[in-house]
Amino acid sequence: MTRIIVQPSGIEFEAKEGETIMGAAHARGLYWPTTCGGQCICTTCLSEVTEGGDYLLEMGRSERKTLVDERGEAILKRPVRLACQAIVREGGSVSLTKPGVRDANSI
C-alpha cells in the first residue's frame, strides 16, 4: 500500500498498487473534483505532486495529450498529474495539493 496525503484538506488514505489516485479516493469514500468522471478528457482532477512522485507510474500518452490540449505545453514543466490517470506504485507516500477533496458524505 502507498499512503496518499492531500493538501490543503490534510486527508490521508491508502492506495493499492495499480489503483489510480482518484479511484483509490473514491473507493475509500472520498469525493475528488472532476467534470468528466475520470475519463481523461478534462483537467479538473489536476493535482500538484509535492512529494513522492516516484511512487506513481510514468505519465501515459493520453494523460500527456489531455494536459497539453487543455492547459498548454508549459504545464508539463510542473510536477502535476491527473488524479484519474496517475497509477500508484507499491510503498512509500505521495503528497499532493488538490483543493476540494473531501468526504463524499459531506457533499
Q: Torsions phi, psi of 38, nearest 5?
A: 90, 25
Number of folded domains that form the chain: 1
Divide the 107 residues of the chain into consecutive groups of 10 and give the mean pLDDT of each group.
97 98 98 95 97 98 97 97 98 97 88
Can you give the residue range of the structural domain that contains 23? 2-106
pLDDT for position 106: 80
Coil/strand/helix, residue 80: strand
Q: What is the pLDDT of residue 50?
A: 98
Q: How far apart are CA 102 and CA 43, in angstroms?
A: 18
What per-residue confidence (pLDDT) applies to 58?
Answer: 97
| CATH value at residue 9 | 3.10.20.30
The 3-state secondary structure of 40-64, one letter per residue: CCCCCCEEEEEECHHHECCCCHHHH
